[in-house]
Amino acid sequence: MKRRSILGAVAAASLSLSLGMGAAQAQDKKFTIALIPGLTTDAFYITMQKGAQAAADALGVELVFQGAPDFNPVTQVPVLDAVIARAPDAILIAPTDTTQLVEPLRKAHDAGIPVITVDTFIGTGQYQTGAGDADFPLSYIASDNVLGGKIAARALAAAIGGEGKVYVSNVKPGISTTDQREAGFKQAMAEEFPNVTVLETQFNENDANKAASQLQGVLAREADLKGVFGANLFSALGAANGVQQAGQTGNVKVVAFDAPGSIVDNLSTGLVDVAIAQHPAEIGYYGVVSAYAHLTGNSIPVSIGTGFTIIDKNNVSDPNVAKYVYSE
């Protein structure tokens, strides 16, 4: 996935084109772009909305933010259908399943509504290839989640001294981002840290209480457990709470993916050792910019990658780091 260089290029090119030659088209019509998050209550998506709104304000676009309260295709598809019925000029969406959202999103495509996926993807995430049944979205804008998993593995291995037993606390199979984070984590551990044993993944269905119970169950079976990687917010919060409830804070290290205020507070207290912060505001911003560029006749990349910031107790107070803490 291309990273910051192309992200910056898209921003500069899209803004200049849209405010220049594209502005003439925009004067005749105010575009409406819909953003459908994975769920509306997660700080990650709240922060993404703020970035998207900033771009919409700069470009004179109406942004519609509509989603479900939980990360589930059963609840997301009706929201998507309602958005399609409103016929926006473009849809940005974080699909909640790689396969179950393909046909619902095809309805938008068949209705002539351009689709861009943000954070998560459908199919393989390889778009505009002419192959497969899920290549119709124009672009995928997200963090490089395999790389993020590798970063988490290196952070956890460093925290436990390069040896011992660890496991991944994850949501469920079939979610593109968390699948990739787990894969990257396991790949880095296998290739770089031969003295670390990765135990069976525990799937918690996005339930922090379940993740906490699972941590205690793993600890009961593996008394020498050294660490856990929480592949998303609820996995990490639950794992940290489980460590605390077991009286093992500081002994069992926790690396969290994502950095809302609740995770950052846990960094300060020692419940969480490292947080891998994505840049969701950038994802939302460049989603709107890319959609606008397409609507005004400009080409956009089929993939745009955003970066990460590693946060721990040593840098959490640094303003250059703190700005990447998610809004809540």
Mean pLDDT, to the nearest integer, of 182-204? 98
The reply to whether 250 and 284 lie within a common domain is no
The percentage of residues in the chain with a pLDDT greater than 70, rounded to a whole number, is 91
pLDDT given for residue 222 in this prediction: 97
Asked if the structure places residue 11 within a domain, the reply is no
pLDDT given for residue 186 in this prediction: 98
- Overall domain count for the chain: 2
The reply to whether 229 and 252 lie within a common domain is yes
The reply to whether 247 and 299 lie within a common domain is no
The reply to whether 273 and 290 lie within a common domain is no
Asked if the structure places residue 321 within a domain, the reply is no
Q: Which residues of 281-299 are buried (b: 16+ CB within 10 A; e: fewer)?
A: bbbbbbbbbbbbbbbbebe
Model confidence band, residue 277 (pLDDT cutoffs 50, 70, 90) = very high
Mean pLDDT, to the nearest integer, of 133-140? 97
User: Please, are residues 175 and 204 in contact by the beta-carbon 8 Å criterion?
Assistant: no
Mean pLDDT, the chain, integer: 91
The reply to whether 235 and 177 lie within a common domain is yes
User: Please, are residues 96 and 73 in contact by the beta-carbon 8 Å criterion?
Assistant: yes
The reply to whether 155 and 271 lie within a common domain is yes
Which range of residues forms the domain containing residue 59? Answer: 32-143+279-307
What are the backbone angles phi and psi of residue 152, rounded to the nearest 5°?
-65, -40
Asked if the structure places residue 12 within a domain, the reply is no
The reply to whether 177 and 264 lie within a common domain is yes
The reply to whether 95 and 172 lie within a common domain is no
CATH classification at residue 169: 3.40.50.2300
The reply to whether 97 and 62 lie within a common domain is yes
DSSP state of 299: -
Asked if the structure places residue 23 within a domain, the reply is no
The reply to whether 208 and 231 lie within a common domain is yes
Asked if the structure places residue 43 within a domain, the reply is yes
The Cα 172–Cα 96 span in angstroms is 11
Asked if the structure places residue 58 within a domain, the reply is yes
The reply to whether 184 and 250 lie within a common domain is yes
The reply to whether 88 and 196 lie within a common domain is no
The Cα 214–Cα 217 span in angstroms is 5
- Domain termination residue (choose one: 277, 299, 323): 277
Asked if the structure places residue 159 within a domain, the reply is yes
**pTM across the whole model:** 0.86
